[in-house]
């Protein structure tokens, strides 16, 4: 083992030193572009006249161009509506030349030309990918929903943002206090949901007011992260500190007495050029379209940026949220038919609640070793506590509407730690270029779950015009079990994007993961403890080929293998082995009309050929009725196609659209009907949004938008079991629906007003978990946001 580690570091040392020698004669240029008032300008095209090298300024007006041959070069700055500026810059070998520019207004009208400075969908690098690879060079489908979209659409919940993504969707919202995400037929658990690159507990609604962008990587990401579901991953990127002083205050008002003030402040600390801060905060309170359902939330997100040098920076980020809302398990079903109740009807007890507290802290260190090599380290800590005290899910509604309500209570206390180090670099072997990622990560969960005994509370009839609680007290429930479940993971991975030429690129990578999973269940009444443990490791390979006949088109294919852990034991009492999943993906990416429109098509197949299912027989050949005894006897196959369209702003218009088809079904099973669909996943989803911004007229500052989402028919309920004679389980068909939202906004100097109408058509459908958490979607609702920015 020691020799392997030594060899690993020798390889890194060789690559770094080799690269330093190969590129000793090159340097870099960094700078900032502002307007005449000193405000930073985003999306400015900065190019070097003598070469094809260039960059685009970020939201802080900053840019960086690497690998420039030493000597004098000519920088060209271009942006619509501003005068083009040229400037001579001396580049020194192995050094970073710094220069800043101020652009003046020109005569071009924004509404008359294409804004080519904005990055297209195929140019935006996703930070969750750990290495800077443009989507056009990546044999994988990715998507970014940026701040402009989030602000225009007044995104309140993550589900609002996902209206702009196809193939990734909300599959349920059990209890009304979470949004269960899925992609390509597979659920995204907390292992697939990230915030600033660290796993985020998704059993609650994330706060979106602090989010800069939402990143989605579809398909396999097993090489980058251990133990992730097959459908993909989602990363929430928060707003970062800035050195220039500024901020905003806003107030959002909405239907059902909703209000939400938001504060966002940033700037340097005491005028320092090395330390900057940012702090976001909000308070939220409101009722629901559901009777007797309400919520209240407090959220704070502070961060600090330390620029130790031109090459080294440290970002510290904190996160605190306290959220309390009514636990609402919906309207239930009667004999696997959705109960015919008004959308607003609440059948739980009025005092039901779900309380959560979540705190997190992240530290990220980035060090630019030289022009071509960078090392990054991330450490994260998260604490999560929740308490659920409410009626149980309505599973036994009688045909006449009678429901015996029982009470449940549970508490969760989870601590999570993560550490990660990545080395990325570029070098050449002859004419072949390499873009390398080498890294290691560790993470650890320690989850303590306390469950209480349940008790019958009362009996109601859900069809009564007004449900009158016969009781209003909160009963004392005895502690039943205390479960402690520590999980420890470690991984080592390496990946290389090899560019044989401008047209052919090959991606190869391999990850080794090791995981320890333990469980200790204390039954309080008997003081008996049951313990179990499992130790698993796996290799996850990734291979991909990209062919680019020209700079505006790319074809790709990829293969990857991942694993998912299983609970339970085999017929001999041994912990069940992980299930291995194979994924194949083919696609085409295009930049049409000279880069104005990104148009991508992806087809894929995901197959779990050793799915864990309840064993039919025990080790003695007798029929098995213990659901914890399992065998790798099933198979699930997901197949689909996705189409994405996204334009740059053109003549004031911008467009996003997409379509996905997915079929996820049992292709082998000893329990369920072969060919039956997995629950909660629609075959068809589609999305589109169009925005128009007025400029150069009396209506300058006004913008209009429409967003539409089609969510296809899917099934919930319970799959019919082949192993049970006259099985009463049935599937519930959930209707398709189309949701259309409209928005209008007006900007005047530092003020803005935005209005939104969601679900204009007042469409009716449901998010369903099993047959007992049947939650109606929200009706037509209104919101208004007034903001002041400086």
**Rounded CA separation 511/517 (Å):** 19
Contact of 256 with 214, CB cutoff 8 Å: no
| Strands ordered across the beta sheet of 142-145 | 142-145, 211-218, 232-238, 193-195, 198-199
CB neighbours of 517 closer than 8 A, spacing ≥ 6?
485, 486, 487, 533, 534, 535, 536, 565
**Rounded CA separation 257/779 (Å):** 15
User: Parallel, antiparallel, or unpaired: how do β-strands 193-195 and 232-238 relate?
Assistant: parallel
Helices then strands, counting H and E runs in the chain, come out as 3, 44
**Rounded CA separation 586/584 (Å):** 7
CB neighbours of 598 closer than 8 A, spacing ≥ 6?
120, 121, 122, 589, 590, 591, 592, 644, 645, 646, 647
Contact of 224 with 129, CB cutoff 8 Å: yes
**Rounded CA separation 229/650 (Å):** 38
How many CB atoms sit inside 10 A of residue 778's CB? 19
**Rounded CA separation 529/521 (Å):** 5
Q: Which of 551, 553, 545, 552 is nearest to 504 (CA)?
A: 545
Mean pLDDT along residues 150-179:
91
Q: What is the pLDDT of residue 115?
A: 37
**Residue 343 main-chain phi, psi, to 5 deg:** -55, -35
Higher pLDDT, 710 or 51: 710
Domains and CATH numbers, the chain: 2-108 (2.60.40.1120), 127-236 (2.170.130.10), 237-789 (2.40.170.20)
Q: Which of 679, 728, 766, 762 is nearest to 329 (CA)?
A: 766
> Residue 80 — very low, low, confident or very high, per pLDDT cuts 50/70/90?
low
- Percentage of the chain with pLDDT > 90? 59
Whose tokens are 């991330």? That residue is 378
**Rounded CA separation 681/716 (Å):** 9
What is the full DSSP assignment across 67-102? EEESEEEEEEEEETTEEEEEEEEEE-TTSEEEEEEE
**Rounded CA separation 740/763 (Å):** 9
State yes or no: pLDDT of 638 exceeds 90.
yes
- What DSSP character marks residue 393? P
Contact of 170 with 162, CB cutoff 8 Å: yes
Mean pLDDT along residues 158-178:
90
Segments in 483-611 forming alpha helices (H):
none
Higher pLDDT, 596 or 786: 786
State yes or no: pLDDT of 69 exceeds 60.
yes
Please count the residues of the chain.
790
State yes or no: pLDDT of 108 exceeds 70.
no
pLDDT (tens digit per residue) in 523-580: 999 999 998 888 888 889 999 999 999 989 999 999 998 878 777 788 888 878 888 8
Mean pLDDT along residues 121-148:
88
Q: What is the pLDDT of residue 23?
A: 42
Q: What is the pLDDT of residue 13?
A: 46
Task: For residue 774, give both structure tokens.
Answer: 């049947």
State yes or no: pLDDT of 304 exceeds 90.
yes
> Residue 5 — very low, low, confident or very high, per pLDDT cuts 50/70/90?
very low
Contact of 568 with 598, CB cutoff 8 Å: no
N- to C-terminal Cα separation, the chain: 56
Contact of 32 with 100, CB cutoff 8 Å: yes
Q: What is the pLDDT of residue 55?
A: 83
**Rounded CA separation 12/436 (Å):** 10
Q: What is the pLDDT of residue 9?
A: 43
Which residues partner with 323 through β-bridges?
297, 356
pLDDT (tens digit per residue) in 325-383: 999 999 999 999 999 999 999 999 999 999 999 999 999 999 999 989 999 999 999 99
Contact of 292 with 344, CB cutoff 8 Å: no
> Residue 111 — very low, low, confident or very high, per pLDDT cuts 50/70/90?
very low
**Rounded CA separation 299/206 (Å):** 10
Q: Which of 332, 601, 642 is nearest to 463 (CA)?
A: 332
**Rounded CA separation 107/58 (Å):** 24
Angle at 613 between CA 607 and CA 615, to 5 degrees: 140
**Rounded CA separation 503/51 (Å):** 19
Highest mean pLDDT among 62-66, 558-562, 751-755: 751-755
Q: What is the pLDDT of residue 38?
A: 62
Whose tokens are 């390509």? That residue is 184
CB neighbours of 556 closer than 8 A, spacing ≥ 6?
138, 139, 140, 544, 545, 546, 547, 585, 586, 587, 588, 589
> Residue 650 — very low, low, confident or very high, per pLDDT cuts 50/70/90?
confident
Whose tokens are 């520590």? That residue is 486
State yes or no: pLDDT of 602 exceeds 80.
yes
Q: What is the pLDDT of residue 105?
A: 59
**Rounded CA separation 677/668 (Å):** 12
Which residues in 565-629 belong to E strands, given as ranges?
579-592, 597-614
**Rounded CA separation 171/151 (Å):** 24
**Rounded CA separation 237/152 (Å):** 18
Q: Quick one: which H or E segment has residue 316?
A: strand 312-325
> Residue 37 — very low, low, confident or very high, per pLDDT cuts 50/70/90?
low
How many CB atoms sit inside 10 A of residue 603's CB? 15
CB neighbours of 521 closer than 8 A, spacing ≥ 6?
481, 482, 483, 529, 530, 531
Task: For residue 45, give both structure tokens.
Answer: 């095209």
**Rounded CA separation 758/752 (Å):** 20
**Rounded CA separation 668/670 (Å):** 7
Q: Which of 456, 343, 461 is nearest to 399 (CA)?
A: 461
Distances (CA, A) of 660 to 587, 589, 590, 732: 13, 16, 18, 22
3-state SS, one letter per residue, for 761-789: CCCCCEEEECCCEEEECCCCEEEEEEEEE
The distance of Cα 486 from the centroid of its chain, to the nearest Å, equals: 24
Q: Which of 397, 412, 404, 526 is nearest to 458 (CA)?
A: 404
């Amino acid at each position: 083992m020691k020799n392997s580690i030594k060899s690993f570091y020798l390889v890194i040392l060789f690559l770094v030193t080799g690269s330093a020698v190969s590129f000793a004669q090159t340097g870099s240029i960094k700078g900032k572009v502002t307007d005449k008032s000193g405000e930073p300008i985003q999306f400015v095209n900065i190019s070097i006249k003598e070469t094809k090298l260039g960059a685009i300024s970020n939201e802080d007006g900053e840019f960086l161009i690497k690998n420039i041959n030493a000597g004098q070069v000519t920088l060209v700055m271009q942006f619509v509506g501003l005068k083009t500026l040229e400037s001579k810059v001396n580049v020194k070998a192995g050094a970073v030349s710094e220069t800043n520019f101020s652009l003046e207004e020109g005569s071009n009208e924004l509404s008359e030309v294409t804004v080519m400075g904005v990055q297209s969908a195929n140019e935006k690098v996703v930070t969750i990918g750990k290495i800077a690879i443009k989507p056009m060079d990546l044999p994988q489908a990715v998507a970014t929903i940026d701040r402009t979209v989030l602000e225009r659409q007044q995104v309140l919940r993550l589900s609002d943002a996902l209206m702009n993504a196809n193939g990734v969707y909300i599959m349920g919202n059990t209890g009304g206090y979470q949004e269960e995400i899925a992609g390509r037929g597979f659920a995204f658990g907390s292992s697939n949901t990230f915030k600033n690159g660290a796993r985020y507990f998704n059993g609650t609604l994330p706060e979106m007011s602090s989010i800069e962008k939402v990143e989605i990587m579809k398909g396999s990401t097993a090489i980058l992260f251990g133990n992730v579901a097959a459908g993909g991953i989602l990363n929430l990127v928060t707003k970062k500190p800035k050195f220039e002083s500024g901020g905003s205050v806003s107030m959002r008002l909405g239907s059902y007495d909703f209000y939400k003030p938001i504060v966002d402040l940033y700037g340097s600390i005491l005028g320092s050029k090395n330390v900057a801060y940012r702090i976001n905060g909000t308070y939220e309170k409101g009722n629901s379209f559901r009777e007797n359902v309400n919520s209240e939330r407090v959220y704070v997100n502070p961060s600090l940026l330390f620029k130790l040098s031109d090459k080294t920076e440290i970002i510290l980020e904190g996160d605190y949220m306290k959220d309390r809302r009514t636990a609402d398990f919906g309207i239930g079903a009667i004999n696997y038919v959705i109960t015919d109740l008004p959308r607003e009807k609440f059948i739980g007890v009025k005092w039901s609640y779900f309380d959560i507290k979540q705190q997190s802290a992240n530290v990220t260190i980035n060090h630019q070793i030289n022009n071509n090599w960078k090392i990054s380290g991330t450490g994260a800590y998260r604490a999560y506590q929740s308490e659920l005290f409410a009626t149980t899910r309505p599973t036994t509604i009688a045909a006449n509407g009678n429901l015996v309500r029982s009470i449940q209570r549970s508490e969760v206390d989870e601590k999570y730690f993560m550490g990660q180090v990545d080395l990325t670099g570029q070098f050449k072997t002859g004419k072949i270029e390499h873009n390398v990622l080498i890294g290691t990560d560790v993470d650890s969960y320690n989850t303590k779950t306390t469950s209480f005994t349940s008790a019958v509370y009362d009996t109601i009839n859900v069809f009564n015009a007004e449900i009158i609680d016969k009781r209003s007290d909160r009963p004392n429930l005895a502690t039943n079990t205390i479960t402690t479940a520590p999980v420890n993971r470690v991984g080592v991975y390496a990946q290389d994007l090899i560019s044989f030429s401008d047209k052919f690129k090959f991606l190869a990578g391999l990850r080794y993961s090791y995981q320890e999973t333990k469980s200790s269940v204390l039954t309080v009444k008997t003081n008996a403890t049951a313990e179990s443990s499992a130790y698993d490791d796996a290799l996850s390979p990734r291979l991909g080929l990209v062919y680019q006949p020209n700079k505006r088109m790319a074809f790709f294919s990829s293969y990857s293998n991942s694993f998912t852990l299983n609970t339970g034991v085999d017929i001999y009492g041994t912990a069940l082995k992980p299930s291995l999943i194979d994924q194949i993906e083919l696609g085409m990416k295009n930049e049409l009309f000279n880069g104005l429109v990104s148009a991508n098509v992806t087809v894929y197949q995901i197959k779990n050929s050793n799915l864990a299912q309840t064993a039919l027989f025990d080790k003695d050949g007798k029929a098995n009725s213990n659901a914890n005894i399992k065998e790798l006897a099933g198979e699930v196959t997901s197949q689909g196609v996705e189409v994405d369209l996204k334009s740059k702003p053109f003549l004031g218009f911008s467009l996003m659209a997409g379509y996905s088809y997915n079929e996820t079904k049992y292709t082998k099973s000893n329990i369920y009907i072969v060919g039956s669909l997995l629950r909660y996943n629609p075959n068809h989803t589609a999305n589109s949004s169009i925005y128009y911004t007025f400029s150069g007229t009396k209506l300058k500052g006004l913008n209009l938008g429409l967003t539409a989402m089609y969510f296809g028919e899917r099934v919930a309920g319970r799959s019919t079991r082949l192993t049970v004679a006259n099985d009463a389980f049935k599937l519930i068909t959930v209707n398709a629906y189309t949701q259309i939202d409209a928005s209008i906004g007006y900007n005047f100097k530092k003020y803005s007003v935005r209005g939104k109408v969601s679900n204009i058509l007042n469409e009716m459908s449901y998010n369903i978990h099993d047959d007992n958490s049947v939650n109606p979607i929200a009706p037509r609702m209104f919101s208004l946001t007034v903001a002041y920015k400086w």
